[in-house]
Structure formats: C-alpha cells, structure tokens
Amino acid sequence: MNPTTELIHSIPVDPLTGSISVPIYQTSTFVQDEPGVHKGYDYARSNNPTRAVLENIIARLEYGSNGYAFASGLAAIDAVVKLLRSGDEILAVDDIYGGAFRLFTHIYKKLGINVRYVDTTDAQNVADAISPATRLIWLETPTNPTLKISDIEAIADIAHANNLLLCVDNTFASPALQQPIKLGADIVVHSATKYLGGHSDLIAGLVVTRTPELGEQIKFIQNASGAILSPHDSWLVIRGIETLHLRVKEHSRNALAVAKYLQAHPAVKDVYYPGLTTHHNHEIAIEQQSAGGGVVSFTLHEDTEEAAKQFVCSTQLFKLAESLGGVKSLVCHPATMTHKSIPAGKRQAAGVVDSLIRLSVGLEDAGDLVADVEHALRNVMEGDNLENATINAQWLNG
C-alpha cells in the first residue's frame, strides 16, 4: 500500500462511536474500578487517548518505536537534553535554531552540560570533534535558516562507532520528505508548530525514539517534567498530519520556483535551497530527502539590515512573521527576529549575515509568489524609502 494511504488509514476510527475524526478527550482524570484498575488511563499528564493517537502516528511516520507529544518544539528538545547528566557534552550543528542555542547556553550550561558547535556539513568535522565527554550529536538538516545539509547516515555511523546518541531535528523536512531513524538516528524531534500542524494555528513538539528503551526514558521525563501537549492541540496536529504529504509536495514545488527566480535576480547574492543543484550538499540532500522542502533563504548584494528590512516590509503575500510551514507564505529576517539571541559574530560565522532573508513558501499560486518577491526586490534595488514600505506593509496587514 502507498505510504500516504497507509498513513490516512492508520488514524483510527473511534471504536466506541464510529467517529471518523479522533475524539478530543478533554479530561484531567479517569475513573478507576479499584485503585490501579482502569482502562489504560489514570491521569491526563501521564497519558491521554487523543495525545496517544498522535504519539502512535508520529512514531509510525518516523519509523520509530515510540512517540511523545510536548507543549512546544523547545519542550521536546528540552526533554531530550534531560537524558544527559552534568559533565556530559553535546556536539551540535553550528547553524542551530536560535531557541535551541538559547536553551543550551542559558539553561543547560549552568547545569554542567556543555555544547560545542561544529560545521556538520562535513561528517569528518564531527568525527574530529568528539571528546571523552561527548554523549549526544545534535543535527538539524536542513538547518534553520541557512538550509545546510548534513549526511545523517554518515554521522549516525560515527555516533554509533563512538557509543553516542544521534538526535535529528527533522522540523524543516518533516517525515513526508525525510525519515532520519531509517538512516540511523536514535532520536527525532519536531517543532510540530511547523509542517506537521501546517496551518499556523498551534504550538507543539514531538519526540520519536528508535528503541522502546530510549522511549521509556523520554516517557519518564515527559511525565516527570510535565510539558505535555493538550488534547485539543493533539487533535489539531493529527488533522494537520492527514494532509502533510500533499502539502509538503506543493510547498516544495512552490519553493523551487521561488528559489530559481531568486537565483537569476541581480540584487540577490546567494540562494540557499537544497533542491538547487548549486546547493553545497545537493547530492546528499537528494539522497536523504525526497524533495527540497518549503523554506528558501537568500542574501542580498547589499548586505545590510536596512536592505533586508526594505525587502521584508515590501512583500504583500509573504507576511512578516516568525515561524514557517503554514499554508500562508511568511517572510522573516533571522538576524533581528528568530536568531537575535545568538551573538552577532557567532551568527555571522554560521552564515546568518545581516541581509539574510528566510521565506516560508506557502500554498498560494507559485506565479503570484514570484511576482510578490519581484516587487519587493524592485523596492530594494530602487532604494525606496523604508518608511513608505513599512506603511505599505502595515496597511496590508490590516
């Protein structure tokens, strides 16, 4: 059976009522027949039937053994780091999501967990960086926001040869395009806020483990720390997943059209998109991803915050907002938005330069999206004054 058909029909019909939509069990507790004798559920932090459906679906989608749903992507990341103890070290991709950097630096460093950042686009750099304290390798591929690609299979081999865990943040590709556990990863995390939810209407995170043993450890942390996903938001993610494959295919098609347009534009310096043959690790990308995904980033020849702001305040269909992966296109200026918590020197060294712009290419018509980008780039080239562009954007945003 085709995986999409299998996925759609793996979402269970409610055995009690026949409801085709998964019921939302909006309850805090469950009545027991005798102490400890119940129908598999005792308290809704520990488990909830709606959340359990989502957790089973994501485990299946990612080819893992166990899945767990959290209140945000960062809560999911936090649960994985809690597998470690003081004195342990993480080797992480250098172009890491800013919120993960903030969590590692400002929460876990003072608890004795050290993080070293490596350019993981070359697997040899990872092998060379391992120290006796290293316990966990942390990848995002593609990365946020410069779409760097790392070879999951090669790095999984390095991790296992050194008795380390490999965790992959699969938010950007989503399981519709890439399944890291099949390539050797031990843990996958998601900001389900993005493509899995898919409609910019919730905040959620997921963890999937390769083995039941690791799953039990995450389950313990989930229950002990308590950052669970609510029944209603679990239901929203389930509903998003029903159309995931369809959406991500279309996001990727639109993003490739926008990336190709940007590549030919005289105001644009570099375009980062794994689906372009010019991408540094395009060969690895097409080996491990079935399409390029919906995010395109680019820099301007005029590498200034002002020029980038001119662009992001001039688009009309691409709304200026953090986040990505929704139906509506979004534009973001990482240096002053998602990645502002990373010190300027470190940020620039990882490629997040002042003019870098990130587009989350939505499901509108590709021609309309290209026309919107064209219009905004014209404003950049003509150096329209920013005040007018901002007024424009405010007016459009209502």
- Residues lying near ligand PLP in the complex (CB under 6 A) are found at 72-74, 97, 99, 140, 144, 169, 171, 191, 193, 203, 205
CB of 93 to ligand PLP, least distance (A): 10
Cα 57 to chain centroid distance, Å, stands at 17
Q: Which residue is nearest to ligand PLP (CB)?
A: 73
DSSP designation for 229: P
**268-272/89-93 β-pairing:** unpaired
The whole-angstrom separation of Cα 159 and Cα 220 is: 24
CB of 227 to ligand PLP, least distance (A): 10
88 in active site: no
Helix (H) or strand (E) holding 361: none
**Active-site pick, 41, 45, 182, 249:** 45
The whole-angstrom separation of Cα 52 and Cα 46 is: 10
Residue 54, CB-side half-sphere exposure with 13 Å CA sphere = 32
CB of 144 to ligand PLP, least distance (A): 4
**Active-site pick, 25, 97, 272, 273:** 97
**66-70/205-209 β-pairing:** antiparallel
> Which residues make Cβ contacts (< 8 Å) with residue 151, sequence separation at least 6?
123, 281, 284, 288
- Nearest alpha carbon to residue 28 among 13, 42, 40: 42
Residue labelled with tokens 């129908």: 39
Give the residue with the Cβ less far from ligand PLP, 55 or 169: 169
- Nearest alpha carbon to residue 121 among 144, 145, 101, 147: 147
Give the residue with the Cβ less far from ligand PLP, 72 or 329: 72
78 in active site: no
**Active-site pick, 194, 210, 309, 358:** 194
CB of 178 to ligand PLP, least distance (A): 13
Give the residue with the Cβ less far from ligand PLP, 108 or 261: 108
**330-332/165-169 β-pairing:** unpaired
CB of 19 to ligand PLP, least distance (A): 28
Give the residue with the Cβ less far from ligand PLP, 96 or 256: 96
Strand partners, 212: none
**Cα four-point dihedral sign 192, 193, 197, 203:** positive
Give the residue with the Cβ less far from ligand PLP, 23 or 99: 99
194 in active site: yes
Give the residue with the Cβ less far from ligand PLP, 203 or 349: 203
- What amino acid is encoded at 71 in this protein? A
**Active-site pick, 78, 95, 151, 169:** 169
Residue 207 corresponds to which tokens in the numbers above? Answer: 């963890």
DSSP designation for 243: T
210 in active site: no
Angstrom distances, CA of residue 187 to CA of 36, 127, 172, 214, 311: 32, 19, 16, 8, 38
DSSP designation for 29: B
CB of 6 to ligand PLP, least distance (A): 27
- What amino acid is encoded at 6 in this protein? E
Residue 354 corresponds to which tokens in the numbers above? Answer: 């002042």
CB of 41 to ligand PLP, least distance (A): 26
Give the catalytic positions in this structure.
45, 97, 169, 194
